[in-house]
Amino acid sequence: MDDNIAIIDIGSGNLQSVQKVLKYLGKDSEIIVTPEKISKFDKVILPGVGNFGKVMEGIRSRGFETPIKEIINQNTKFLGICVGMQVLFESSDESPGCPGLCSFKGKVLKFQKGKIPQIGWNLLEPRESKIISKGYVYYVNSYYVQPENESLISATSDYYGEFTGAIQFKNLTAVQFHPEKSGEYGIEFYRRWLSC
């Protein structure tokens, strides 16, 4: 059976790059700008680039907040990328007073050391995961997720201290790095995500 993949467009995200990787893997996808059709897809990707508050504004103004929460609670396979992972939590230091989707308890914190944002390759160290493997991935981030429940964390990287590189919960995977910019590692990551 062919995969039925949606890429959510909330006005922030590297949508064409994600779509290009999927196409390389022989998978068609549809970029959706309204939530009405989201329940018809069995795989959904939420890319997010830039500011936490702006991404949440895009999610809310386009009517995606409730549908995203609903598909996360169902059997739909979900992938959040970069800020698309951060918005799954309650709040961010980047946008005080702006609530996230609150799918998980925890907050998004700013790096306190090193050059900010972190830009470039960094080693991803997996915990137990069928989707995440050890390897170098590409980051562009000033903020990182701190889940209240540490069992959500499926991989970490180190930037003047350990931080969350990926989380997994049931049908949901979310990553701080950019798989579509991570070369062969990113291609294999998408291949595993599609098949698991």
Quick check: 28 and 5 in contact, CB under 8 A? yes
Mean local confidence (pLDDT), 147-176: 97
pLDDT at 196: 87
Rg for the chain, CA atoms, rounded: 15
Residue 94 among the catalytic residues: no
Catalytic residue, candidates 57, 90, 180, 196: 180
Amino acid at position 68, single letter: I
Q: How far apart are CA 25 and CA 53, in angstroms?
A: 33
User: pTM for the full model?
Assistant: 0.96
Q: Nearest CA to 164 among 80, 95, 103?
A: 80
Tens digits of residue pLDDT in 73-102: 988 999 999 999 999 999 999 999 999 999
pLDDT at 2: 61
1, pLDDT greater than 60? no
Catalytic residue, candidates 65, 82, 150, 196: 82
Q: Write the CA distances from 53 to 24, 59, 92, 94, 108, integer angstroms.
A: 32, 10, 8, 8, 12
13, pLDDT greater than 50? yes
Mean local confidence (pLDDT), 45-53: 94
Q: How far apart are CA 13 and CA 49, in angstroms?
A: 5
Residue 30 among the catalytic residues: no
Mean local confidence (pLDDT), 103-121: 97
Q: Nearest CA to 11 among 78, 70, 60?
A: 60
Q: What is the mean pLDDT of the chain?
A: 95
- Helices 15-24, 183-195: axis angle to 10 degrees equals 70
Residue 82 among the catalytic residues: yes
Q: Nearest CA to 103 among 174, 5, 1, 39?
A: 174
Question: Quick one: pLDDT band at residue 12, thresholds 50, 70, 90?
Answer: confident
The percentage of residues in the chain with a pLDDT greater than 90, rounded to a whole number, is 91
Neighbour tally for 9: CB within 10 Å: 17
Q: How far apart are CA 41 and CA 29, in angstroms?
A: 10
Question: Which 3 state secondary structure label does DSSP give 163?
Answer: strand
Catalytic residue, candidates 65, 94, 178, 188: 178
